[in-house]
Structure 1
């Protein structure tokens, strides 16, 4: 039985891209370009992060989860932590997204917009990461001392869920595999001890809202149409 992110939590608690176009990389830092910032203000679209009691429960859950997670799954989570490109969905889609420039570039636009919204939330809530709240928390990689408190919501989960939901909407025939990969990618942040389940949950809902608005934005209509054309042959 495959355990999704939600099942595991329950246990513990701009131009049109065209053929031959260069593949875009995500801007650093991404900026809100299409959404109305007033509509996606952090305290409007996010609830506050959990309080002390719930945070303790989440920390306990992470300790127990990491203790029973196989080394190969931890290694995969570590690798996912280094990759925020659309390529994370190539296997689930059954096609190499590097060979689909219109889809790739649209997904980068979407992840940039979602990540900008998430970044504003991080700055607003300043929640300590699990390893900052609990020095005994095991992490996939060494963490730098004095790192900013930016646990809530999760940027990596936003990247995964925004691109995943967009692909599910544009290629519904592959939605099940793509959304399973989105959950898997987000869960990697738990296995690495760098995010709480509530961090990734917050990113999931907002990423879906962002995607729906962007896919309906007339300014992106040509990009969306080009991506649909590339994805039409996916089975």
Structure 2
């Protein structure tokens, strides 16, 4: 990866400074963890928006079980490893998840406003799933089937966390939708990566397919609501300028994009 050119970076920061937000002043949930854009009562309500997860004996549950079986042979493969990488939502690692699809590096250094946009929207999309998640307390597939999952160190925590809907899938699809607005010329790549990010939860054996589908519904609802927030809209525009400057400067993703493409190949 090549850092932003000095001239491009100076122009970018000058544009952001004009009426811009001080990133150091972003509110925090706790030290080092930025708050989302939406207040708790402004987030979409997953318990009102989603139907119950598939019941025993239904065709929908049979589809979930078949999807889990089809993912089984991927264990130990490059796709399995990518699913483990996609499970990481902590920054700075998570910032680069969509960098290959976007075609530029995404980091606090290279794209500070985009980096913060991803961090804050993660909170909004992820927390939008929790009313239904806590209400239904659906058992995760690795628990129900007693088969391996790709982030074994998290097993004890995930066993106690409801499976439906998938918070990771909500976050990944929300990021894909937001990034598509920032760089519509790469919409197909970004949306495909967002879909794959959600499917990583099925590959990882920590979510059923219906969990992932419901997560995408919550992502769409959250992004729609975010557009009514003026701070989000302003940050979206600043992030768009950052990406344009990074592209003009010839910056390249730091991830191994060839390996990612190979892992996602049909």
The answer (yes or no) to whether the contact 2:44–2:221 under 8 Å persists in 1 is no
After TM superposition, the structure 1 = structure 2 runs for residues 148-187 of structure 1, keeping only pairs within 5 Å, are: 148-187=160-199
Deviations 1:56-90 (A, max 9, x none): 44223312332256711111111221245232011
The answer (yes or no) to whether the contact 1:16–1:102 under 8 Å persists in 2 is no
The answer (yes or no) to whether the contact 2:169–2:215 under 8 Å persists in 1 is yes
Is 1:133 aligned to residue 144 of structure 2?
A: yes
> Which of 215, 222, 240 is matched with 1:203 structurally?
215
For structure 1, which segment, 54-63 or 95-104, has the greater mean C-alpha deviation from structure 2 after superposition? 54-63
The equivalent residue for 1:95 is 104
The equivalent residue for 2:56 is 52
> Which of 106, 119, 129 is matched with 1:108 structurally?
119
Task: Give TM-score scaled by structure 2 length.
Answer: 0.71
- The runs of 5 or more residues in structure 2 that have no matched partner are 1-18, 249-266
1:149 and 1:70 map into 2 onto residues whose CA distance is 24
Q: Larger Cα Rg: Structure 1 or Structure 2?
A: 2
SS at match of 2:97: helix
The Cα shift of 1:149 comes to 4.2
The answer (yes or no) to whether the contact 1:17–1:105 under 8 Å persists in 2 is no
Is 1:219 aligned to residue 231 of structure 2?
A: yes
Per the alignment, do residues 133 and 212 of structure 1 end up closer, same or farther by CA in structure 2, a change over 3 Å counting?
A: same
SS at match of 1:131: helix
How many equivalent residue pairs? 217
Task: Give TM-score scaled by structure 1 length.
Answer: 0.80
- The runs of 5 or more residues in structure 1 that have no matched partner are 1-14
SS at match of 2:52: coil
For structure 1, which segment, 217-226 or 115-124, has the greater mean C-alpha deviation from structure 2 after superposition? 217-226
The Cα shift of 1:55 comes to 2.6
